[in-house]
Structure 1
Amino acid sequence: MTMLRPPGALRWWTLAVVSVGTFMLMLDLSVVAVALPGIRGDLHASFSEMQWVFDAYALTLAAFLVISGSLADRRGRRLVFVIGLVVFTAASLACGLAGSIEVLNISRGVQGVGAAIMFAVGPALLGHEFHGKERAAAFSVFGAAVGIAAATGPLIGGALTSGPGWRWIFFLNVPVGLATLLVAVRRLRESRLAHSAAPDFAGMAVFTVALAALVLAIVRGNTDGWFSATNITLYVVAAVGLIAFLVLARARGENAMMDLRMFRNRTFVALCAVTFLANAAGLPAIFIETSYLQNVLDNSAWEAGLRFLPLSLAMFVLGAVTGALTNKVPFRIIMGVSQLALAGALLLTHRSGPGDSWTALLPSLLVTGAAFGLFQPTRAALAIGVAEPAKAGVASGINETFQQVGVALGIAVAGAFFENRVADTFARSDAAATLGDKSHDVASAISAGAIEPAARSAGPALREQVLVDGRHAFTEGFHQAMTLCAAMAFTAAVIAFAFLRNKDLHESALTGVPPDLPDEDDAADERADSRTKTAS
């Protein structure tokens, strides 16, 4: 007799577990933005150390994404997903308990490992349990979890930071993670591929080292000197690591962490470039914009979270509409327009000044949300559409890696540029001329968002002047960093218009239904069907 699909209840439990896990990991990518001033004050962190609160998470998320999927296919998706959930939950507890910025950033890196595992394995679990129209519905719910997490992150972060404190943005994951873990252990079915290559641990190691060295060099550039002995060493490590990664990938072929043959597709190369640049432009903008709201406009964490609500709503609405557009409008048009909109939105931040209301940023927030609402669903559809169904998961994993690398490097580059511009602008101010040798330390405090404490440290006579000049320097640095981010978004738009082609896509990209990927249980079903027909 023919083997039956799992009972409906089990399928929907799987969807619930994957969606909750994905919501948590995506939330922790955005929720920390409004908590950074509180973290800086409690843990006495510098600007570069606060960048690592983002980058440590994004870096390990990027490094472990592809290899996690490969390991799950080989060892069992349920098992590996549960391990990722345990790692993420334990690391969240460690983040909440951190007594220093170093401990927090290390814990964030470990948290990123757990997030990578869940994010890589979750879609495979759904793909195993859902088929046909049900699969499209399941992936719509999965996409909604991603969108809601990104949309509500600043608001949730603001509420928790202004209420019980910033540590609760991490503590909240613990009870939710434990409840999800209990359901996962009891309700998820195990599945794996019948034939799967060994994970590329060597490739992952050299990729992680290379990326970490490059990010560290950029983050420390203003402090140590861009061409100091330390930074030159880091550049060399990054370059050697990248070369080693490419050599290993070429040697392992399709079994490498990144199958280089995928890059023979012009549209796939362009998609990865646009994904990298869009995230390198958009996420640093939110990071610095949040700091501007709290440190120049004196908004509380809760108020800053509320200010991002227009961005969230615009992203959510445009994201819901965009899914229908992908079957009617060429991908290059949607992607190109999204990046032109993002570039324009970032330039609109120049309308704001230290004496203005937050509403000066409202046009920028609305257009930024609309840009990402157009971009994210289209990117996801393209990522699984550039390859045949059997390779769709690999293509999607590589593209997600470029997304997280864009976040990590974008925050490092834009953050370093912002810090440099703030210091340079303040150095030319009247307050700096009076402060003399102390001006460098004051400028560093201003770029970290500690404008009021920096003004107090200058003494009663200079307090007001440092406040005025400090807010001006911060605003100038903010505007120039947004110009840099806008240039990256504009470059992404040019690439999208010029190089994305619908003719390079597999037909599954136009159906709106994620492709079926075979695994050992599907093969068993087919063998059972064959035996039944033969017996008949």
Structure 2
Amino acid sequence: MRKWGPLIAVCLGTFMLLIDVTIVIVAMPDMAGDLDASFADLQWVLDAYTLALAAVLLAAGNLADRLGRRAVFVGGTLVFTAASVLCALAPDTATLIAARTVQGLGAAAMFATTLALLGHAYQGRDRGLAIGVWGAVSGAAAAVGPIAGGLLTQHLGWEWIFLVNLPIGLLTVVMALRVLDESHGDRAARLDVPGLVTFTAAAGLVTYGLIRAGAEGWGDATVLTVLVVGAVALAAFVAAEHRAAHPMLELGLFRSPAFSVIMLGGALAQFAAFSCFPQISVWLQSFLGYGPVATGLTLLPMAATAFVVSGLAGRLLHDVHPRGPVGVGIVLIGAGSLLLTLVDADSGRWILVPGLVTIGVGVGLAMPQIAGVALGSVPPHRAGMAGGALNTFRQLGFALGIAIAGVVFRSTVEGRLDGTQGIADPQAAAEAVGSGAAPAIVAAAPPGSRDTIHAAIGDAFAAGLDRVFVVCGTVGVIAGLLVLVVVRPTRPRTVPAPAPAPAQQPEPSDAV
């Protein structure tokens, strides 16, 4: 137990923080019903966690180097666990979104330290085995999330997708204090406060602007103002990083076309693979009438395929330069999203399987290998920063993808419902459809027009899904082709061993 105790402690925390990305998706319709949540509210329940995680990930690694990685890991776990309880007790969506933000901050502190802790605890063959187990657990979190969310939501209530973190979090803290040794990195490095503040502002404002645009339209004054201020904050971040003695992200790395493209590819792969899931979940539950468990099982083929392919790729492709698997994998993610356009108003859930399996193959090929491309495109002493940047871009890709997919879906549904007899306010109807309230719209209609309205909503829902799938598919194919064209196998694959130093090493998994 003493030998493998550090691995168990780190894997428990990693599993808990990564499963919370996907476990929420299946519970969204129940949350909307209990909390009277709007479509935009549901997007923020997902994005608040991911944005907070992305915004402070690099800074958390820097802080861990100075204060101690075990201390930051334990502190982050306590914050994450306490915020999970607040999520479960939230009386309204504002409180839930705030608690999810705090959850994301705790998750960033945990995620930034996991591989550095393992690198310090193990050497040689044991280190390789520990990293492999950690990667498998990370991948399993994505696969288990929809099923766990469905089981807990259907049999105990959506609150339990958060309450289950309480015993796991406390066990993780106890084990970490007992079996993990403290370690540090560069204790002289200063925290890049201007970079942290401007980056967080830019990411948050742009996401808010996109989500609000879905509800109010692109001509809304607040939308335009927020997006402009977000662009100014991004410019301020660039200026701050140029001036910083110890920048959170060294902008000189982007002079390498391969590094720039792999950061973009990581973000767009997340966008293409996962940003359509909220709409699929709502469609399965509110329109087709499936429960949370059946919905989780429907989404399982993607994550399960990714998990299997990831393991096989690690064994069979270890002598292949990662450019090929990454580029082809992202193209397959896009192709799978395009296969999902087979859905129409009369489709059942099994029409999703070919597309989901294809996406899973792409995720399994690309995500574990993408770290090798990122590390191979920078000098060895910048490996930690490159890994942290990749994780940050991937989380941002997911957050922005959720927002953009929401805009596309909502505007398409509203356009299709405009002029439908019995629907006086297509904007409000589109909002209700997106939040899972389609049955309520039909039930509230006069008896003689219910069949017509049900059919119209079905057509609008299918059209909205189709447009989202096309956007995701196009993004994925373009991103994959960019990787294949720009990233060149100029030298043999050399992925540095993960550690003991930088706290921001990348994860070798297909986790979200």
The answer (yes or no) to whether the contact 1:389–1:517 under 8 Å persists in 2 is: no
Letter in 2 for 1:508: T
- The answer on 1:403 being equivalent to 2:394 is yes
1:106 and 1:427 map into 2 onto residues whose CA distance is: 34
CA RMSD of aligned residues (A): 1.7
Structure 2 equivalent of residue 514 of structure 1: 497
TM-score where L is the length of structure 1: 0.90
Aligned counterpart for 2:78 among listed residues 66, 80, 86 = 86
1:191 and 1:517 map into 2 onto residues whose CA distance is: 8
Larger RCO (alpha carbons 8 Å, 6+ apart): 2
Structure 1 equivalent of residue 509 of structure 2: none
1:13 and 1:68 map into 2 onto residues whose CA distance is: 24
1:287 and 1:518 map into 2 onto residues whose CA distance is: 37
The answer (yes or no) to whether the contact 2:323–2:373 under 8 Å persists in 1 is: no
Please give the per-residue CA displacement for 1:457-492, whole angstroms capped at 9, x wherever unaligned.
Answer: 223232222111111111110011110111110111
What SS does structure 2 have at the residue aligned with 1:387?
coil
- The answer on 1:482 being equivalent to 2:469 is yes
Describe the shift of the 1:118–1:76 C-alpha distance in structure 2 as closer, same or farther (beyond 3 A). same
1:435 and 1:484 map into 2 onto residues whose CA distance is: 27
Letter in 1 for 2:451: E
2:491 and 2:96 map into 1 onto residues whose CA distance is: 44
Structure 1 equivalent of residue 441 of structure 2: 454
The alpha-carbon deviation at position 514 of structure 1 amounts to 2.0
1:501 and 1:154 map into 2 onto residues whose CA distance is: 37
Of the two, which has the highest radius of gyration?
Answer: 1
Describe the shift of the 1:455–1:194 C-alpha distance in structure 2 as closer, same or farther (beyond 3 A). closer
Please give the per-residue CA displacement for 1:40-96, whole angstroms capped at 9, x wherever unaligned.
Answer: 100111111100111101100100110000000011111111110011000100001
The answer (yes or no) to whether the contact 1:35–1:161 under 8 Å persists in 2 is: yes
- The answer on 1:56 being equivalent to 2:56 is no
Structure 1 equivalent of residue 96 of structure 2: 104
The alpha-carbon deviation at position 315 of structure 1 amounts to 0.8
Describe the shift of the 1:43–1:115 C-alpha distance in structure 2 as closer, same or farther (beyond 3 A). same
Structure 2 equivalent of residue 495 of structure 1: 482
Please give the per-residue CA displacement for 1:390-421, whole angstroms capped at 9, x wherever unaligned.
Answer: 32221100110000110111110111111100
Q: Percent identity?
A: 37
Letter in 2 for 1:275: G
1:366 and 1:37 map into 2 onto residues whose CA distance is: 24
TM-score where L is the length of structure 2: 0.94
1:55 and 1:179 map into 2 onto residues whose CA distance is: 27
Residues 379-390 of structure 1 correspond to what in structure 2 (within 5 A)?
379-390=370-381
The alpha-carbon deviation at position 317 of structure 1 amounts to 1.0
1:435 and 1:307 map into 2 onto residues whose CA distance is: 31
Structure 2 equivalent of residue 473 of structure 1: 460
Describe the shift of the 1:155–1:262 C-alpha distance in structure 2 as closer, same or farther (beyond 3 A). same
The alpha-carbon deviation at position 312 of structure 1 amounts to 2.3
The answer (yes or no) to whether the contact 1:389–1:516 under 8 Å persists in 2 is: no
Aligned length: 502
Describe the shift of the 1:50–1:391 C-alpha distance in structure 2 as closer, same or farther (beyond 3 A). same
2:77 and 2:423 map into 1 onto residues whose CA distance is: 51
What SS does structure 1 have at the residue aligned with 2:91?
coil
Structure 1 equivalent of residue 220 of structure 2: 228
1:193 and 1:349 map into 2 onto residues whose CA distance is: 46
Describe the shift of the 1:165–1:518 C-alpha distance in structure 2 as closer, same or farther (beyond 3 A). closer
Structure 1 equivalent of residue 173 of structure 2: 181
Q: Larger deviation: 119-128 or 460-469?
A: 460-469
Structure 1 equivalent of residue 58 of structure 2: 66
1:185 and 1:345 map into 2 onto residues whose CA distance is: 44
The alpha-carbon deviation at position 516 of structure 1 amounts to 3.9
- The answer on 1:144 being equivalent to 2:136 is yes
Letter in 2 for 1:288: Q
2:23 and 2:501 map into 1 onto residues whose CA distance is: 36
Describe the shift of the 1:293–1:315 C-alpha distance in structure 2 as closer, same or farther (beyond 3 A). same
Gaps of 5+ in 1: 1-8, 520-536
The answer (yes or no) to whether the contact 2:442–2:450 under 8 Å persists in 1 is: yes
Aligned counterpart for 1:348 among listed residues 339, 343, 360 = 339
Letter in 2 for 1:218: L
What SS does structure 2 have at the residue aligned with 1:508?
coil
Structure 1 equivalent of residue 421 of structure 2: 433
What SS does structure 2 have at the residue aligned with 1:192?
coil
Aligned counterpart for 1:166 among listed residues 152, 158, 163 = 158
- The answer on 1:277 being equivalent to 2:268 is yes
2:64 and 2:423 map into 1 onto residues whose CA distance is: 58
Residues 197-216 of structure 1 correspond to what in structure 2 (within 5 A)?
197-216=189-208
1:452 and 1:302 map into 2 onto residues whose CA distance is: 19
Letter in 1 for 2:439: E
Describe the shift of the 1:353–1:195 C-alpha distance in structure 2 as closer, same or farther (beyond 3 A). same
Describe the shift of the 1:224–1:354 C-alpha distance in structure 2 as closer, same or farther (beyond 3 A). closer
